[in-house]
Structure 1
């Protein structure tokens, strides 16, 4: 995995919850200004680029594509929304209390799970099951994001990675809509191939951690 999500110094840091919450609320209030020079630009940029690690990128694109095929058309946004909500909760947790040593393996496993979901995207999925799997995987990715929070601050960093996450989800949704419109007859095989490649990538990432 490209990022070292479980650096010992990150796991050992513990900050008082009250201080954390206060800092977070103050930081979130200032998010609109972070994109401007002199106001946390470095942390915002670090947040923008962090999700481009292979594990994060594959997971987010897979969720967007899966949502197009597995959820009712008017609810296709539920998958990305559930992912982003769980992602930020996980990131706050990782930033506040640190992360477990097995996190990298769990993140890689989530990529395998999302690949399997993509392979079976055209089957009838119980919505709670799909949302639960997405939220669980997203929380793991959020923990990894939170553990890598730069010293320059969480709020700008979070704004950056949420923006990139949204863009990656939309890429997956766009790919799914294009596939359904222009290659509907071959969608099952193309989804199986994409899901298989995603799952295989997850297994390779796990193997590199062994």
Structure 2
């Protein structure tokens, strides 16, 4: 039975990555819904916050801010037609790497963590920009930036709550990472 459920979950994995082509308009609501339209985006955003919660001081906010800043740059590039090779694989890899980093990375320099999330944010931003149609780029961008920040905050608060139980935090981060691994092979 366990093998059957695992097979069904892996077979369904491609349907979970729905945050990409097919949005009808490009207003604020469309932008706000884009990050929650696919499990890949949701888990990557939560993992960023979860990982940031393991840091102290300004790094706790610099890591998610790095993601948002580079994602916004990626959006501008994607809206201008820039195509990033292996876009979907980069987004799936972000779920894998950031999830596992949140679980197991230990103490690495905050600048390195910000660079890692920033590199993956470029993939997410280009995907957002490629989805933007019409003339309301500012409204669309404001929507997905707000939702991204809210998902980072949710991950941060979950990470703060889980911070007292390192094994539960590792289990959550590892589970996120395993979904990312499944998405890479989907």
Q: State TM-score, norm by structure 1.
A: 0.74
Shift of the 175–78 alpha-carbon distance from structure 1 to 2, 3 Å rule, reads same
- Separation in 2, partners of 1:206, 1:81: 26
Q: State TM-score, norm by structure 2.
A: 0.83
Q: How does 1:157-196 map to 2 (within 5 A)?
A: 157-180=140-163, 184=164, 187-196=165-174
The answer to whether the Cα contact below 8 Å between 1:150 and 1:157 also exists between their aligned partners in 2 is no
Q: How does 1:111-130 map to 2 (within 5 A)?
A: 111-121=95-105, 123-130=106-113
Q: How does 1:1-150 map to 2 (within 5 A)?
A: 1-5=17-21, 43-52=27-36, 53-69=38-54, 71-121=55-105, 123-150=106-133
Q: Describe the SS at the equivalent of 1:73.
A: coil
* Unaligned segments of structure 1, at least 5 residues: 8-40
Shift of 1:173: 1.2
- Separation in 2, partners of 1:57, 1:46: 15
Shift of 1:42: 6.0
- Separation in 2, partners of 1:55, 1:119: 17
Alpha-carbon RMSD across the aligned residues, in angstroms, is 1.8
1:29-86: CA deviation from partner (whole Å, max 9, x where unpaired): xxxxxxxxxxxx96110001000121111111111111111x2234311111111001
Shift of 1:172: 0.9
Shift of 1:101: 4.5
The answer to whether the Cα contact below 8 Å between 2:64 and 2:152 also exists between their aligned partners in 1 is yes
Rg larger in 1 or in 2?
A: 1
* Unaligned segments of structure 2, at least 5 residues: 1-16
Alignment size in residue pairs: 167
